Structure 1
């Protein structure tokens, strides 16, 4: 029976989202394009949310121009979930690599320290100024939650292989049950109750991204048959965004008339809300099914996408987090019919700057590696890490056989 179930599971995997080696290679550019788009949408979120462009929903005297930034927010709110889905989707079928974890942590540390030093030289510090807490955030960025997203990202890198291995043992039905329980507890309940739960971190935590990780592994293994076309995926994304906006405005109407529900006015914009998750699945599926044409376009996408994480690490540094929006016209954009142009300008500038800085960071890392390779202790350390990676790869291949 166990053998039969394993065979059935493998068959299900093959017919799910066609994740075989050939399909994976031909569609890699699609998913890397989605990685780029999701990072651009993250910049949109931070441009709107960390300036005065998103008016308070509790303000009872909002004019018409105050509403459309909230619709832009609804379209972009999928970004973080999507980035994590992409990460989990690819890690689900890859062996755990110590080198990947080390590179990621070093990349975060590089940005935390170097940007902190450069920003400090220009007098740029967080609101609390130069204090012990800020210095600890620079030196221990992952542990101190300097970038909450990166803390969750590192958590996901570590745990996705375990989740994937467990998912293969469980089989499709049992994995569906586990996934359903996780989503009900951490998403559905908070989405339907008109109160703020004490345990609800709004999706800004590793627990929620463990749920996203399980979902990504499920998609990798079995797919979502309903979302088998680009059109359906895009409809779910846009439809989800419209639903987020309309439900939120409905809650606001109730609040304005009754002074009730004030604590849940923006609940639909939480990363762990069901509408946000459904919209995230929509855009993820649309790009997965998308077929790109043109070797030049594909080459450009694959060349740029490895640097996208640097965009986040640059503009979300504690010293810059609430400063760059004003540099890029957030004050002029507020209430302006040309706000969309200001948003596009901000996205282009921040994205381009982030890509260039991370490309430079990559060159620095490559140069440091060459220099350090002359040192015997460093060569031994690299050999140990490479050996661990190789053992992980061999163990994964043996388990699959």
Structure 2
């Protein structure tokens, strides 16, 4: 029997780190957004920048998370069956939390429309979007990242065929086209290849992960290049963020999905994959459940109450706010992983029950058939 490959704990830690960046972004976006708006309105622009210090980190985390998938899967032959099973597993996890929180939301009479000012007047059943998003999470794009990731998994068999048939030069040309269209064009308000959040940026990150695994020699030189990429591009990101918030007085910064965020992610990714491989059972176990952090914290019924609880509105010292925010996010992530471990045990028991039931039915049919023959 073929042994399951042991995952490099450096990369599994990077997976968790990417989710930390995503969740810190949400802390700034949802937990500190109202504070930042008031600070901007009152002319306290530097304080507004401080209150949104984690805001630019979200897309860096998204890029890294998908690069890991490309690193592991990009050079493999993935069948339609494997792709479908992976998509179903993701959807099962997603649907579990969507339905659970839907029942909780209905039981406690939580709002069925969290963002009425953002609704599309042409959307059918517009008065209960939370129910639609919970019952049909992919169709109504409950979580953009999950929707894009599931679509990526469905096209991976075909994407990998192309990537493994073309040579290095052709992949470089493909990457150039993809990076320009999905990470530079959006900075110019050109979303023809991808919205600010969408499948295009996810596919680009996947191809980069595959390219690094297949063509880059990983060691001290790649570690140094990664450090250079990460430092330079993170500095550029925060310079642009500072300009957007303090000069343009606009907190929805343009850098969410952009070239600099992508290059920062490439740099951080290179740093971790260049390290000597290590193995830690606990770390690898937690990393398997880290996706649940996104599913739980970004649930349509959870998002507002959660970040309202951790907005720290009674604290005026913004350094303390951000430190407490980091601690809160780490605690939230740990709790979400623990919840998902319980969820996985429930799924495992249900799977065992289905297997036992099937075996029982087969045995019963065999018993009936053998008795009929005797008769």
Structure-1 residue corresponding to 2:276: 291
SS at match of 1:337: helix
- How many residues end up aligned between the 2 structures? 344
> Retained in 2: the 8 A contact 1:244–1:276?
yes
Distance 1:146 1:189, change over 3 A: closer
Determine the C-alpha separation between the residues in 2 that align with 1:100 and 1:89. 16
The C-alpha deviation readout for 1:341-368, integer Å capped at 9, x for no partner, is: 2212221221012101100110110111
Distance 1:252 1:46, change over 3 A: closer
**1:207, distance to aligned residue in structure 2 (A):** 2.2
Structure-2 residue corresponding to 1:118: 104
> Retained in 1: the 8 A contact 2:13–2:283?
yes
1:36 matches 2:22: no
1:107 matches 2:103: no
Determine the C-alpha separation between the residues in 2 that align with 1:112 and 1:175. 38
1:328 to 288, 298, 310: 310
1:143 to 125, 139, 146: 139
Determine the C-alpha separation between the residues in 2 that align with 1:110 and 1:80. 22
Distance 1:78 1:313, change over 3 A: same
2:198 to 196, 205, 220: 205
Structure-1 residue corresponding to 2:176: 180
156-165 vs 225-234, which moves further: 225-234
Determine the C-alpha separation between the residues in 2 that align with 1:92 and 1:224. 16
1:167 to 154, 163, 172: 163
Structure-2 residue corresponding to 1:10: none
**1:331, distance to aligned residue in structure 2 (A):** 2.0
5+ residue gaps, structure 1: 1-23, 257-261, 381-401
2:241 to 222, 236, 248: 248
Instruction: Within 5 Å, give how 1:44-59 maps onto structure 2.
Output: 44-53=24-33, 55-56=36-37, 59=41
Distance 1:345 1:249, change over 3 A: closer
Determine the C-alpha separation between the residues in 1 that align with 2:308 and 2:49. 21
The C-alpha deviation readout for 1:373-396, integer Å capped at 9, x for no partner, is: 23339999xxxxxxxxxxxxxxxx
SS at match of 1:266: coil
1:86 matches 2:68: yes
> Retained in 1: the 8 A contact 2:219–2:274?
no
Structure-2 residue corresponding to 1:303: 285
Task: Give me the CA root mean square deviation.
Answer: 3.2
Determine the C-alpha separation between the residues in 2 that align with 1:108 and 1:241. 32
Determine the C-alpha separation between the residues in 1 that align with 2:276 and 2:181. 36
5+ residue gaps, structure 2: 117-125, 363-375
Could you tell me the TM-score, scaled by structure 2's length? 0.81
Structure-2 residue corresponding to 1:362: 344
